[in-house]
Amino acid sequence: MKSIGIGLAGLGTVGGGTIDLLKENKEEIKKKAGGELNVVGIADIDTGKIASKKYCEMKVFTDAMQLLELDEVEVVVELIGGETFAKDFVISAINSGKHIVTANKALLAKHGNEIFDLATRKNVFIGYEAAIAGGIPVVKALREGLSGNNITLIAGILNGTTNFILSEMENSGASFDDALAQATALGYAELDPTLDIDGYDSAHKIALLSSIAFGVKVDLASVSVSGIRNLSLKEVSYAKQLGYRIKLLAVTRKVDGKIELNVAPSLIPLPELMSNIDGAMNAVEVRGDFVGQTLYYGQGAGAKPTASSVVADLIDIARFGSQSKVPAFSYQPEYLKTLTLLTSSSVIVGRYVRLKVLDEPGVLASITSELAKNDVSIDCFFQKKVDEKEGCTDVILLTHPCSGKNISQSMSEISKFDTVVDSPVILRVESFQ
């Protein structure tokens, strides 16, 4: 039985979890991999981390590039994060003939086409299950289990931080700021939560999933991104009154040969499974023409779940090495094509609209008339009790599915009404039944 030498770059949460998993489940992993998986070298710029006694049997470096000089290292695990050095490290590893396992979704979303092209030429395997949805094996499901299907839709809650925040806003009535502070205190949110709350973390992941599902080159720039930073408690409360929950939803779907890529806070009907994903959990729905609806649920971050995905890729490398015939994006490289984008103006979904209006006769009639001019049909609406002090009230509308162009034209005109005293709030309504 052949042992595999591993060089691990980055001793953060996931790096430490990976080493723990390889040690604790050593015998089980050996039986499945067909040989031992041994971390022979580690690297981290933090000398305090690498000084730990738990790493005393390994060669330690502060420069990850030194791992590539070790002949016994056949696989490198890149857990550095970021793009600049991580990219240089991965490119150098590929050129050195080392297989790669990475959890770096930003790196792959921005530079994946270049990296995977080089890996193909060098006959190097790249595993990236850990880059998307933590411990949920959605990459393997798409690349292998569902490979016979024509995939039509992927929709997911791909960021645990934002899902925790939205769950707290709904369940406890906390403001966005208070829910974010709680997420930070519990370790769900980074000190700088920008990538999470502004939707970019989810955008990286859905761009990669879209490439796997539809055989297109990674195109991060085509993802329409809207986060939850400016989402008020009003929207969360009104959505619940209407029988919906708001989730930061990442969606990619194929419509008439064009592909939609979107990340946005969206209303989902309460009976649907996706609306009931609470706390810091992740979920991904994949729909195929033969398999129908499938759902993948679990922890999307953290030491143990993410380490689980890292080690799964390591086992695949031990089993198959460069002989693995599973392409990086499911499709054979020669069949990958440039994405043809379905623009936001062409996307047809329902919309939630909140309008703050003056309490005057004919206000609702003028709003509905303008919507009708643009072929926007109202599914339901309600009006809150008038605030006597302001002389204003909130009107909340749910529309039937309509194009982004039509709703935008309607709201552009309605915003000009003297009776509308604030900018409209517009959210998507998604249903997967």
* Separation of alpha carbons 226 and 38, rounded Å: 42
Instruction: Given the residues 87, 110, 205, 254, select the one marked as catalytic.
Output: 205
Radius of gyration of the chain (CA): 24
Phi, psi (rounded to 5 degrees) for 391: 70, 25
CB 276 within 8 A of CB 157: no
CB 339 within 8 A of CB 217: yes
Helix (H, G, I), strand (E, B) or coil at 151: strand
Helix (H, G, I), strand (E, B) or coil at 370: helix
What tokens were used for 228? 């939850």
| Residues forming beta bridges with residue 223, ordered by sequence position | none
* Separation of alpha carbons 129 and 106, rounded Å: 13
* Separation of alpha carbons 415 and 342, rounded Å: 26
Phi, psi (rounded to 5 degrees) for 153: -155, 140
* Separation of alpha carbons 215 and 186, rounded Å: 38
Phi, psi (rounded to 5 degrees) for 366: -70, -35
CB 121 within 8 A of CB 147: no
Q: Is 405 a catalytic residue?
A: no
Q: Which one, of 272, 277, 262, lies nearest residue 348 by Cα? A: 262
* Separation of alpha carbons 142 and 336, rounded Å: 16
Active site residues: 205
